[in-house]
Structure 1
Amino acid sequence: MTGPGMYLCRLHDIADGGARGFDPRGDGRDTVFVVRQGMRLHAYRDDCPHVAGAPMAWRKDAYLNGDGSRIVCSAHGAQFDIASGACTLGPCLGQALARVALAIDGGGGIWVTGDV
């Protein structure tokens, strides 16, 4: 499949209000995750700013708190605003997740268009 970058999945493959991790470079671990809120997608590197290289999810695709209102780091309990990636609670206050640029094609395909 060809497009504007690295293909991740189709929009309907991510549940509304849910999150999903991806391994677009084929490294054997998720390096990007996407949170879906309706038709809005928020993508970040799967890397806590508190400790470089620390994955965010405590298990596959488990990036959000219980009510789905915040992104949570499994290693430190830090909480992040979904829309901005800013840390709102925890050891990395004043820091933010690294945003990843996405594009959605006419068929609903989601593509990473920036660095991962």
Structure 2
Amino acid sequence: MSTAAERVLCRLDDIPDGGAKGFDPPPGRFTGLFAVRRGPAVWVYLNSCPHLGVSLDIAPDRFLDARRQHIQCSTHGALFRIEDGFCLKGPCAGQRLMPIAARVEGEAVLIGPIPD
């Protein structure tokens, strides 16, 4: 059961297994979100590179590297771990993407509050 602070982001099937999907900014926000799915697990982040604050995707829903093993910034090629958003390579090495609390309940992906 979802709490008052949570809201539905999408259906689990809206995110391709092994892939990613971008979402428009929530009301009152400038930056969108994106989610990465591995089977029943989903990770959600702000769509903002910690280096320049630019969107990570070069085209809609293109957040992963060619091997689909890392999140990749389209501007400068920085690579981030999917599981925790930690930057492994690039000008923001050692920094992290901003995570959004997320969980799967039934067929829905629920997210918590978005930090300022």
Report the TM-score, using the length of structure 2 for normalisation: 0.86
State the aligned residue count: 112
Which residue identity lines up with residue 88 of structure 2 in the other structure?
T
Deviates more, 1:86-95 or 1:6-15: 6-15
Aligned to 2:42: 41
Runs of 4+ in 1 over 6 A off after TM superposition: 27-30
CA RMSD of aligned residues (A): 1.9
1: CA distance, partners of 2:43 / 2:22: 12
| Percentage of matched positions with identical amino acids | 38
1: CA distance, partners of 2:112 / 2:29: 20
Give structure 2 stretches of 5+ with no counterpart.
none
Aligned to 1:68: 68
CA deviation after TM superposition for structure 1 residue 111, in Å: 1.8
Which residue identity lines up with residue 72 of structure 1 in the other structure?
Q
Report the TM-score, using the length of structure 1 for normalisation: 0.86
1: CA distance, partners of 2:60 / 2:27: 16
Aligned to 2:114: 115
Q: Is 2:21–2:34's contact at 8 Å kept on the other side of the alignment?
A: yes
2: CA distance, partners of 1:84 / 1:26: 25
2: CA distance, partners of 1:30 / 1:13: 20
SS of the residue 2:13 aligns to:
helix
Give structure 1 stretches of 5+ with no counterpart.
none
